[in-house]
Structure 1
Amino acid sequence: MAEDVTRRDFHVKSVDGYAIALREVRPNDRTREAGKPPLIMLHGTRIPGLSEFDLDVPNGSFAATMAELGFPCYILDARGFGRSQRPAEMDKPPVPGKRSLVRTIEITRDIDAAVDWIRAEFGIEAVSMMGWGVGGTCCIMYAALWPEKTSHIVLYDTIYGGGGTYNMGRGSKWEDPDRPGRFNKPVFGNYQVNTLDLLEAHWDKQIPIEDKNAWRDPEMLKAFSQALLDGDPASSSYDPPAYRSPNGMLEDLFYMVLRHKLVHACQVYCRVMIINPELDTLCQDSDMEELIADLVNAEEVVHYRPPNTTHYVMLDRPERGRTAMTEAMVAFLT
């Protein structure tokens, strides 16, 4: 990569013994960091951190973009994802009917391990964090559990549980047909194996024009797909190659679609930024409006709703919203 940053990979230990992977991305000129808070970046439901925040293509590393602007970034893989330690069950075939591995509440332990390391490293009391999708829900939950350790949270494409129209709720394959309103554990079980076509299909569906390459660099899709495989040492054992992910965040997403709030936002006291792309089908207006209504104790709430942008605005071409989103985030964090 040609960016003016330095990368370092290491692990921290969670309170319950998991080795949690972090990638540090910092500016080569550390004087740029003056007055800029360190920023943890947390991935979404099925996808590890590097594939979302640090791709080796132009404009593919949001971590490098933020680091060049002075923000030390720490990309986190929750247990069961990417370079972090996986539950032992994930070394065996998926088991239908078993409990979903790695629920959102467990991931707060992984965040806390990273937060405590960063607090000690920088000599600060509180840390900023950014979460994608259900990763944003994790950030809300963490901020409620440890308000004294949290200064800012950026909720990117997040779901809260306040309502909306989704395709994974009642009557979907995610609902147990024999127990309406329950996650379909008999089918999906403890973890699943994902093929790469899921990413392209979902991204293409978000883009509102016929020529997808005019909106998204085709090299970005290739790099994202390769990073998904690179993040799982077992990916080449599948035909075609595929990657594993725990089902805990998916189960939590299902229940939030049914309007179950995993955490109430009145317990959040830090500064909050919501990034709510207009074309995103996960992060919906009605849900974010209820989240804002519940954020009664937050020090500040910024609702950034960029028009004509997708779930992948951070990785779309710069003129499709990435540049404007970066500017809005920098203004919020500083």
Structure 2
Amino acid sequence: MACVRRDFTVKTVDGVQIGIRSVQLKSPPDEPAVPMILMHGTRIPGISEFDLPVAGGSLAEDLARAGHVCYIPDARGFGASARPDAMNEPPRPTKPIVRSLEITRDVDAAVNALRAETGADRVGLFGWGTGGTVVLIYAALWPENVSHIILYNPLYGGAPDHPEIGRGSRWEDPERPARFNQKKYGNYYFNQVDMLRKGWDNQIPIEDKDAWRDPAVLAAFEQALLNGDPTSLDRDPPTYRSPNGMLEDSFYMGLGHKLVHANQVYCRVMVISPQYDTWTRREDLAALKDDLIHAEEVRIWEPANTTHYILLDRPERGRDEALRRMEDFLSQGKSGLD
């Protein structure tokens, strides 16, 4: 079954051009599956996470082969989307730009385009990391547009003292405790491409990292990060830009602040929290479970012996099981079409 890809832009309600990649079967199935939005996380544009051109590197293609029409939007300031003017100037120690609430406008533009193309009343949303927080907010704001959400390694603000991004972390202002370190990180940031490799390696519990993760997937991921910023090769070594708004939001959730209360969500919800992931805490899972009181269904899956990057690890390292469980979840309550 051949998949086709199309890159295009849509305009948000506030006039921002948002880049989207569509991935779907060349011949649509007779029985349409839930149309899907795949939303990236804090510092990584969408194609890098969801549509790498190597075997085992594209969640979008796997979902498309199951019949889903997939849209991969880049939030403003990322990838193929328009960047704020400030990102064409050197970074400044001013307020972080592109916050999660603002990104819901980008998600809304993608949702409306996907609904128009497929004829669906409602779509599914998948969010990685703080992208999961974004889709949770969207589902609360526009419940009539959403049938399912999958929160993958989400932050929620279920407790204070997050060890990676809360008090005492590098993201905290040493002169103003419990404040984001705006003086160091500022409005946007230049990211080193190898940051992904280092974090991933630390979570793989065996010496031979290639036995756990296909090196072709890692190489494609790093190349996609560079491809996602037209200025990446202007710097030596190459780096790519990302706004810091989602990082600031992540920091405050790490202090125990909730950006949205999950009791405002009414659709089906699945939460995926791999064992070795350090972003989602057990307190976040417990708080989500307690707060999702109106959700039509709640599934929480905590796969043992898996990393934050389970969707890009080798099939036997949890990827195949994750795909199977997601498809089972999405097959429930398929009522998006007229």
Band the TM-score falls in, shorter-chain normalisation? over 0.9
Q: Does 1:159 align with 2:155?
A: yes
Root-mean-square deviation (Å) = 1.0
Q: Please name the residue that 2:241 is paired with.
A: 244
Name the counterpart of 1:22.
Answer: 20
The residue that corresponds to 2:5 in the other structure is 7
Q: Which amino acid aligns with 2:261?
A: H
Residue identity in the other structure for 2:96: S
How many Å separate the matches in 1 of 2:4 and 2:236?
36
Query: 1:26-85: CA deviations, max 9, x gaps?
Result: 0122125x2411000000100000000000111111100110111111111000000000
The partner residue of 1:128 within 124, 133, 140 is 124
The answer (yes or no) to whether the contact 2:98–2:243 under 8 Å persists in 1 is yes
**Other-structure match for 2:198:** 201
2:233–2:239 Cα contact (<8 Å) kept: yes
> Deviation of residue 246 (structure 1)?
0.2
Structure 1 residues 111-132: Cα deviation after superposition (integer angstroms, max 9, x where no partner): 0001111122222221111000
Is 1:53 paired with 2:50? yes
Distance in 2 between residues matched to 1:24 and 1:152, nearest whole Å: 19
Q: Is 1:267 the equivalent of 2:259?
A: no
Query: CA contact under 8 A between 1:166 and 1:282: conserved in structure 2?
Result: no
Supply the distance in 1 between the matched residues of 2:199 and 2:105 (Cα, whole angstroms).
30
1:105-144 equivalence runs, <5 A? 105-144=101-140
Number of aligned residue pairs: 330
Match of residue 191 from structure 1: 188
Aligned positions of 1:1-334 closer than 5 A: 4-31=2-29, 34-96=31-93, 98-163=94-159, 165-334=162-331
- In 2, Cα distance between equivalents of 1:186 and 1:236: 26
TM-superposed CA distance for 1:165, in Å, is 4.1
1:266, distance to aligned residue in structure 2 (A) = 0.5
Deviation at 1:326, TM superposition (A): 0.3
Query: How far does the alpha carbon of each residue in 1:171-203 deviate from its partner, in whole angstroms, 9 at most, with x for none?
Result: 222111221111011111100000112111011
Query: In 2, Cα distance between the equivalents of 1:118 and 1:9?
Result: 13
TM-score (norm 1): 0.97
Equivalent residue, structure 1, for 2:336: none
Amino acid across the alignment from 1:31? P
Report the TM-score when normalising by structure 2: 0.96
Post-superposition, which runs of at least 4 consecutive aligned residues in structure 1 deviate over 4 A?
A: none
Q: Secondary structure at the match of 1:31?
A: coil
Partner SS, residue 137 of structure 1? helix
Tell me how far apart the structure 1 counterparts of residues 285 and 32 of structure 2 sit (CA, whole Å): 30
| Secondary structure of residue in 1 paired with 2:29 | helix
Partner AA of 2:249 in structure 1: D
Q: What CA deviation, in whole Å up to 9, does each residue of 1:208-261 have, x standing for no partner?
A: 111111100111111100000000000011100110000000000000010000
Structure-2 separation of matches of 1:206 and 1:72: 32
Percent identity of equivalent pairs: 57
Unaligned runs of 5+ in 1: none
Q: Which consecutive unaligned segments of at least 5 residues does structure 2 have?
A: 332-338
More off after superposition, 122-131 vs 225-234 = 122-131
